[in-house]
Chain A
Amino acid sequence: MAEQAQGKKAGPKKFALVTRHAPHGTVYALEALEVVLIAATFDQDVSLVFLDDGVYALAKGQKTTGIEVKNFSPTFRALDDYDVNKLYVERESLQARGITADSLLVPVEVLDAKQIGELIAQQDVVLSF
């Protein structure tokens, strides 16, 4: 992996993975998680941002047997093992859906829309799913 080694010389970049879709119905929330895990193995500075229906990705008690797809939500609890612990959830998105941060699968930092905007502005790479 010569290319990989060469990339690392530049030092870590700030990557934000933005999840805007519900965990099921489309593949986007799952794929965002896949990208997070790969970015972490490249030792990048990774943040996860949950907006809009993306906040449902962190809902506790997901059961997917009825729709016959994998329940990937437990993976969020494993992120800490990958040293990924910057999870940000937009306050307005939670409020609009009647969700509180303490009902989510993992500890998150709740930011309002303006703060999310500032966070995004600090990133080198933003991948929105």
Chain B
Amino acid sequence: MKIGIMVSAGPYTHQANDSAYLFARAAIAKGHSVERVFFYHDGVNAANRLTEPPQDDRNVTARWSALAAEHKIDLVVCVAAALRRGIKDQILAPGFRISGLGQLIETGMKSDRLVVFGA
């Protein structure tokens, strides 16, 4: 099954950002494909490569980047939400790109399921 994901909650405050990642990983492990994750609202903060959690904590941004590199997942950050929060090209972590809401709608059109985390 082709699965699209939307993440609208910020990392380290809400579990939704972690849950989206764990869901993506589990879905891929079960043989499904995850082609795009769309980050919206505070979810865009997951794209900030300047984030530096304590050593004994998971690194939300780094593990999204790693998953994207391994499975060719398109990590798209909503441009309006990102610019409001200072998320710009200069600070994007590997695998993330900034684009518009059209990418979310397109994901809904192309996927068998669009799964929403947060909001």
Binding site for B on A (CB under 8 A): 3-4, 6-8, 10, 13, 15, 27-28, 31, 34-35, 38-39, 41-42, 44, 124-129
Are A15 and B108 interface neighbours, CB within 8 A? yes
CA of A28 to CA of B104, assembled, Å: 16
Query: What residues on A are CB-neighbors of B40 within 8 Å?
Result: 31
Quick check: B106 and A42 within 8 Å, CB to CB?
yes
Say which residue of A3, A27, A124 sits within 8 Å of B41 (CB atoms). A27
Beyond A35-B104, A38-B100, A42-B102, whether A7 also contacts B116 by CB under 8 A is no
User: Cβ of B110 and Cβ of A7 under 8 Å apart?
Assistant: yes
A15 touches B105 (CB 8 A): yes
20 contacts across the A-B interface (CB closer than 8 A):
A6-B110, A8-B109, A10-B109, A13-B108, A13-B109, A15-B105, A15-B108, A28-B41, A31-B41, A34-B80, A35-B104, A38-B100, A38-B104, A42-B109, A44-B105, A44-B109, A124-B108, A125-B108, A127-B108, A128-B116
Tally inter-chain residue pairs, CB-CB below 8 A. Answer: 51
Which of B80, B100, B116, B119 counts the most chain A CB atoms within 10 A?
Answer: B119
When the two chains form the complex, which single residue of B80, B100, B114 contacts A127, counting CB atoms closer than 8 Å? Answer: B114
CA–CA, A5 and B105, complex, Å: 13
Q: In the complex, which residues 65-119 of chain B have their Cβ closer than 8 Å to any Cβ of chain A?
A: 80, 100-102, 104-106, 108-110, 114, 116, 119
> Across the interface, which residues of A come within 8 angstroms of B80, CB to CB?
34
Is the Cβ of B102 less than 8 Å from the Cβ of A38?
A: yes
Residues of B within 8 A of A35 (CB): 101, 104-105
* B6 beta carbon closer than 8 Å to chain A: yes
Bound form: Cα–Cα A42–B105 in Å:
8
Q: A127-B114, A128-B116 are in contact. Are A7 and B101 (CB under 8 A)?
A: no
**Which residues of chain A are within 8 angstroms of B100 by Cβ–Cβ distance?**
38
Cα separation A3 to B116 with both chains bound (whole Å): 22
Closest to A125 in B: B108
Whether B106 and A3, one on each chain, are in contact in the complex, defined by CB atoms closer than 8 angstroms, is yes
A39, closest chain B residue (CB): B105
Q: Which A residues are in CB contact (< 8 Å) with B101?
A: 34-35, 38
